[in-house]
Amino acid sequence: MSEKNEVLVRNSYVERVEPFIGKQIIKVFTGQRRVGKSCLLYQLMDKIKQTSPDTELVYMNLEEYELSKIVTDEQLHQYIAANTSAEKKTAIFIDEIQNVSGFEKVLRSLLLNSNFDIYVTGSNAKMLSSELATYLSGRYVEIPVYSLSYIEFLDFHKITDSPHSFEQYARFGGLPFLRHLPLEEPVINDYLKSVYSTILFHDITERYQIRNALFLENLVKFLADNVGSLFSAKNICDYLKSQHSTLSVNQIQAYASYLCNAFLLHNARRYDLAGKRYFEVGEKYYFEDIGIRNVLVGYRPNDKGKVLENLIFKHLKYLGYDVKVGSFGNLEIDFVAEKNNERVYIQAALAIDNEATELREFGNLLKINDNYPKYVVTWDGFNGNTHDGIAELSVRQFCSMKEF
């Protein structure tokens, strides 16, 4: 059975796209390689078949061998022209469109025909955002696609919620293809390593013509080992010098941006809550998929705090929040998440096991004088009363939430 016939529906994404189906606006799905963008296109094709059976479907995966020679806008235009009729209602699906130079010109041309319903995916944030914003401003909607949430992980693997299930999610991550594999460390690690290598060498090293690939690997491992730590490019530069690796601050900034452009990493900038501005320096990095992070540096007992933060950050992104690191005077708020003009504050702590930790984690939140939701998230949580209205949740409870 083909992968297409085995697709499990990710309803949260389908529901988000539904208002735009059949409309003269380009639907752009972005995200890291292997998070399920192609499968989402399959789901949408099935939905269109059901709701609009007269609509013709044209699907192109530009990484398939037969289509991999389409690398210019002219070649892409010729292929689409040969496989569509301008007089017929047609849904056009193009996978990994960033492989085509000048793709935005083709999309702009297709958009002129009201019979065309256009869907594209891409694995390069910078290329897509800059080109689409320049040529198609106001005529596209971008829908980020992430690896599975914890609830989706349970659904895909047909398992029930339990401490053991969550431990598997925290260890192996949420890439959808894992459902085809036994959840055993050697097997999963081999798969995750292959995905990581493809991202690093195909989506980053080749695309940006990076000569110092070894440095790039060391940078990724450094960030994996320091998830949730506040960094600037200069901090990283100083550390790498101590490891006898020299690269300028500007080069490190460029490399870090490449990692984020390929969606391997996300960055969270520091935000001054009182001054309502971003700081010039200092940000945190989190992995799109915690399983890839773990396969690079290990899943160790003393890493639980880092894994905890990454899981919180990732779930907030999955729920559609813009996530920042909050600064309030000399206090730090781990996550300030905003969506639809609403806000939620999160403090992350492995455990609240002494008075000093309790005062720091709850006290920082209590000093913020507004009525937005505030939570302290720990590994195991607490089932008793709130602390002056602030709940302590387990990370398992938190990653099961659909809204705040």
CA atoms within 13 A on the CB side of 166: 16
pLDDT value, residue 346:
98
6 vs 158: CA distance, rounded Å: 14
pLDDT value, residue 247:
75
Phi, psi of 309, deg, nearest 5: -65, -40
145 vs 16: CA distance, rounded Å: 11
Closest CA to 218 of 287, 291, 296, 282: 296
Closest CA to 398 of 321, 341, 332: 321
198 vs 192: CA distance, rounded Å: 10
pLDDT value, residue 234:
78
Closest CA to 61 of 88, 27, 96: 96
Domain boundaries in the chain?
4-144, 150-398
pLDDT value, residue 3:
46
pLDDT value, residue 337:
98
| Segments of the chain with pLDDT less than 50 | 1-4
Q: Where does 140-202 have alpha helices with state H?
A: 150-157, 163-172, 185-198
Q: Give me the CATH code for the 4-144 domain, please.
A: 3.40.50.300
Phi, psi of 342, deg, nearest 5: -115, 165
Closest CA to 173 of 88, 318, 291, 270: 291
102 vs 317: CA distance, rounded Å: 30
Its pTM stands at 0.94
pLDDT value, residue 243:
67
Closest CA to 127 of 102, 146, 91: 102
- Helices 233-242 and 213-225, packing angle to 10 deg: 110
Beta strand 56-61 with 26-30 is unpaired
